[in-house]
Amino acid sequence: MPITAIEAGVTLQHIILLAVIQGITEFLPISSSGHLILTPALTGAADQGLLVDVAVHVGTLAAVLIYFWRDVFAMIGGFFFLLSGRINPGARLALHIILATIPVVGVGFYLKVSGIEEQLRSVEIVAWTTLVFGIVLWIADKIGMTINRLEHMRWGGALFIGLAQVIALIPGTSRSGITMTAARLMGYERADAAQFSMLLSIPVILGAGLLAGIDLQQSGDMALTMDVLLAAGLSFITALIAIAMLMSWLKRSTFTPFAIYRILLGGGLLVWIYGYGMAPFETLF
């Protein structure tokens, strides 16, 4: 079946909602993929199509690149040191990001070609992962010490976070949530755990956007519309705000509000699934 860029029946309101949800949840430890799966399930909206998917990925990628531009330039500059056989802090950070990305690339490719990826996209799975990994985040944040900074990271620590990121291939786990959880278990300060998690999102978001872009190119519908530009712009603005607010919050507080949100959301979804058979929301009131 040919894939269209923006599916029929998708309204401007739905595109705006999708862009805002993607922008806010991409970097908060509450799972953007889970929320995007829940959105049509709860609202009855149609699938938004590939073009909007690419647009929101571009928007969130631009947000993290701009907010952490110093780290991005340091990593780029670090590659020139590598060419001369030397390693500076920027090169070390870049190598840590690469090492932590390798596991999710390999496992993600396998899930995609095997078809398992689509089987995991269910509201029931999202409900359980949202609840369980919300509890895990809360425990890790409570027991984890705050003694390590980003410059203290070693190869083993980067690999551990990368292996944890593989679990996020299960929708609802939250890529940012599980990587921050892993970093907290190793004693990294909350803001540093979030910083590494967001830098680690750069190759992940870039890869996801490229894959969607390839599918889009094959569909033959590359028309840029105001809806698409709006989706990219809104996801960029909301993601930038979300990053700034999260980093500010974690410098003075904990992950507890995010864990509580996940526990309440996951618990509520399980009640909806098992207690009401996923009946449309409007019939419950």
Distance CA 98, CA 104 (A): 11
Q: How confident is the model over 237-250, as a mean pLDDT?
A: 97
Taken as a whole, the chain contains a residue count of 285
CB-based contacts of 182, cutoff 8 Å, min separation 6: 140, 160, 161, 163, 164, 165
Does residue 141 register a pLDDT over 90? Answer: yes
How many Cα atoms occupy the beta-carbon half-sphere of 283 within 13 Å? 7
Q: Are 230 and 15 in contact (CB under 8 A)?
A: yes
- Quote the pTM value: 0.90
Q: Write down the mean pLDDT value for the chain.
A: 87
Residue that is written with structure tokens 């709860």 in the block? 42
Q: Strand, coil or helix: what is 188?
A: strand
Phi-psi region of 74 (alpha: psi -120 to 50; beta: other; left: phi over 0): alpha
In this predicted structure, what is the pLDDT of residue 215?
A: 67
Position 115 confidence tier, pLDDT thresholds 50, 70, 90 = confident
Distance CA 159, CA 262 (A): 26
Distance CA 194, CA 176 (A): 8
Distance CA 66, CA 195 (A): 13
Does residue 2 register a pLDDT over 50? Answer: no
Q: Tens digits of per-residue pLDDT, 40-70? A: 777 766 656 556 777 788 899 999 999 999 9
In this predicted structure, what is the pLDDT of residue 228?
A: 77
Q: Residue 247 is which amino acid?
A: M
Position 168 confidence tier, pLDDT thresholds 50, 70, 90 = very high
Residue that is written with structure tokens 């073009």 in the block? 51
Q: Tens digits of per-residue pLDDT, 63-96? A: 999 999 999 999 999 988 888 888 999 999 999 9
In this predicted structure, what is the pLDDT of residue 3?
A: 37
Q: Are 67 and 243 in contact (CB under 8 A)?
A: yes
- Which residue stretches of 115-189 are H helix? 116-119, 123-143, 155-167, 175-185
Q: Residue 171 is which amino acid?
A: P
CB-based contacts of 61, cutoff 8 Å, min separation 6: 202, 205, 206, 209
Asked which of 9-13, 209-213, 232-236, 252-256 is least confident by mean pLDDT, the reply is: 9-13
Residue that is written with structure tokens 């409570």 in the block? 142
Residues forming beta bridges with residue 73, ordered by sequence position: none
Q: Are 81 and 74 in contact (CB under 8 A)?
A: no
Q: How confident is the model over 127-135, as a mean pLDDT?
A: 97
Q: Are 172 and 130 in contact (CB under 8 A)?
A: yes
Q: Where are the beta strands (DSSP E) in the chain?
A: none
Does residue 272 register a pLDDT over 50? Answer: yes
In this predicted structure, what is the pLDDT of residue 128?
A: 97
